[in-house]
Amino acid sequence: MTSEPLVTMTGWLATVPVIKEVRNGQVVCNFTLASTPRRYDREIQAWRDEETLFLRITCWQQMAKNVAASITKGDPIVVHGKFSIRRYEKDGQQRVSNEISAFSVGPNLEFGQAVFTRISTAPAPAQPLREAEVMAEMQETPLAA
């Protein structure tokens, strides 16, 4: 069994969600979550903000479409998923990107209300045959002896 670092983060949507189609028609949505911890400073008797953490969030397939249609820059959100650190080079300098591959994304209801709209991903059910159609079909099909 592999151990994956799972995290749940709250913060604010720092960028507009960008949705695109990649390899073999898969849909991906990327955005940035900004989370700023606040601490109470007893010396000055006030709250102060600490360093903001920026996380790149990636969603796939139907969730990607739902996220792009549901949240906008500046919204308070909650993200749950697999945490990873990606190292890369840009302009000759080594960089680090903190990332979450999201399993779920939603609004943070501490700051507002939401209305949930369920979407159907199942194919539409077959329409039932009307009585006249059934009778006509029965008349056309001879009974086996």
Checking if the pLDDT of 121 tops 70, the result is no
- Asked if residues 55 and 99 have their Cβ atoms less than 8 Å apart, the reply is yes
> What fold does the segment set 6-117 form as a domain?
OB fold (Dihydrolipoamide Acetyltransferase, E2P) (2.40.50)
pLDDT at 3: 77
Task: Please tell me the pTM assigned to this model.
Answer: 0.75
Checking if the pLDDT of 92 tops 60, the result is yes
Tell me the pLDDT tens digit for each residue of 33-85.
999 999 999 999 999 999 999 999 999 999 999 999 999 999 999 999 999 99
Contacts for 107-111: CB closer than 8 Å, 24+ residues apart: 107/70, 107/71, 107/75, 107/76, 107/77, 107/78, 108/10, 108/76, 108/77, 108/78, 110/10, 110/76, 111/76
Band of the pLDDT at 94, cuts 50, 70, 90? very high
Who has greater pLDDT, 54 or 119?
54
pLDDT at 91: 93
